[in-house]
Structure 1
Amino acid sequence: TEGTARPGRFFGVYLLYCLNPRHRGRVYVGFTVNPARRVQQHNGGRRKGGAWRTSGRGPWEMVLVVHGFPSAVASLRFEWAWQHPHASRRLAHVGQRARGEASFAFHLRVLAHMLQVPPWARLPLTVRWLRADFRQDLCPPPPPHMPLAFGPPPPRGPRRGDVPSVDRESELGAEAHCAVCARTLQDEESPLCCPHPGCPLRAHVICLAEEFLQEEPGQLLPLEGQCPGCKNSLLWGDLIRLSQTGTKENEEDSELEEEHWTDLLEN
Structure 2
Amino acid sequence: MAVPSKPLPALYVVYVLRSTVRKASFYIGSTPNPPRRLNQHNGVAKGGAVRTSRKSLRPWEMVAVVSGFPGKIAALKFEMVRWALANPHLSLHIPSSDRITIATQKKRNGHPKRPPYSLTSVISNLHLLLRVPSFLRWPLKLHFFNRDVHTAWLKWCGTADEQLRDTMEIVTDFEPEAETEVADNAEPGNEGEEATTSAPLWGIHALPMDYAPLREIVTKTESIFSFEREGNCVVCGEHLPTGGGVYAACTNTGCEGVGHVSCWSKHLLGPGVTDEVLPISGHCPECKGSVTWGEMMTEMTLRMHGRKEVEKLFKKPRKRRVPAKAAAK
Q: Shorter-chain-normalised TM-score: which range?
A: 0.7 to 0.9
- Of 125, 136, 143 in structure 2, the residue corresponding to residue 128 of structure 1 is 143
CA distance in structure 1 between the partners assigned to 2:223 and 2:138 by the alignment: 34
Deviation (angstroms), 1:113 = 0.9
Q: Give 1 or 2 for the bigger CA radius of gyration.
A: 2
**CA 1:173–1:82: 2 relative to 1, 3 Å:** same
Deviation (angstroms), 1:14 = 0.4
Q: Contact (CA 8 Å) 1:25, 1:103: kept in 2 or not?
A: yes
CA distance in structure 1 between the partners assigned to 2:126 and 2:84 by the alignment: 9
Structure 1 gaps, min length 5: 252-267
SS of residue paired to 1:120: coil
CA distance in structure 1 between the partners assigned to 2:146 and 2:247 by the alignment: 34
**2:212 pairs with 1:175:** no
Which deviations, in whole Å up to 9, do the C-alpha atoms of 1:205-256 show, x marking residues without a partner? 44311332353211121123342213445443454577795654999xxxxx
CA distance in structure 2 between the partners assigned to 1:157 and 1:109 by the alignment: 32
Which deviations, in whole Å up to 9, do the C-alpha atoms of 1:22-67 show, x marking residues without a partner? x43200110111111111111117x711011111231110110001
SS of residue paired to 1:89: coil
CA distance in structure 1 between the partners assigned to 2:10 and 2:16 by the alignment: 20
* Partner in structure 2 of residue 68 of structure 1: 68
- Where do 1:1-267 residues align within 5 Å? 6-7=7-8, 9-20=10-21, 23-44=22-43, 48-56=46-54, 57-71=57-71, 72-91=75-94, 92=96, 93-96=98-101, 103-136=118-151, 137=154, 138-139=156-157, 140=160, 141-151=163-173, 152=203, 153-158=207-212, 168=222, 174-177=228-231, 178-180=233-235, 181-184=238-241, 186=243, 191-195=248-252, 197-215=253-271, 216-232=273-289, 234-237=291-294, 239-240=296-297, 245=302, 247-248=305-306
CA distance in structure 1 between the partners assigned to 2:86 and 2:226 by the alignment: 47
SS of residue paired to 1:191: strand
- Which aligned runs of 4 or more in structure 1 are off by greater than 6 angstroms? 164-167, 241-244
RMSD between aligned residues: 3.8
CA distance in structure 2 between the partners assigned to 1:190 and 1:114 by the alignment: 32
SS of residue paired to 1:14: strand
CA distance in structure 2 between the partners assigned to 1:131 and 1:220 by the alignment: 36
Stretch of structure 1 that moved more, 199-208 or 87-96: 199-208
Stretch of structure 1 that moved more, 145-154 or 183-192: 183-192
Q: Contact (CA 8 Å) 1:85, 1:110: kept in 2 or not?
A: yes
Q: Contact (CA 8 Å) 1:158, 1:245: kept in 2 or not?
A: no
TM superposition score normalised by structure 1: 0.73
TM superposition score normalised by structure 2: 0.61
Structure 2 gaps, min length 5: 1-5, 105-115, 174-202, 310-329
Which deviations, in whole Å up to 9, do the C-alpha atoms of 1:167-215 show, x marking residues without a partner? 94589854324434532354996733242x5433123444311332353
Deviation (angstroms), 1:125 = 0.3
**CA 1:143–1:237: 2 relative to 1, 3 Å:** farther
Q: Contact (CA 8 Å) 1:225, 1:234: kept in 2 or not?
A: yes
**CA 1:142–1:250: 2 relative to 1, 3 Å:** farther
Residues matched between the structures, number: 239
Deviation (angstroms), 1:154 = 3.0
CA distance in structure 2 between the partners assigned to 1:144 and 1:159 by the alignment: 24
What amino acid sits opposite 1:26 in the alignment? S
**CA 1:224–1:24: 2 relative to 1, 3 Å:** closer
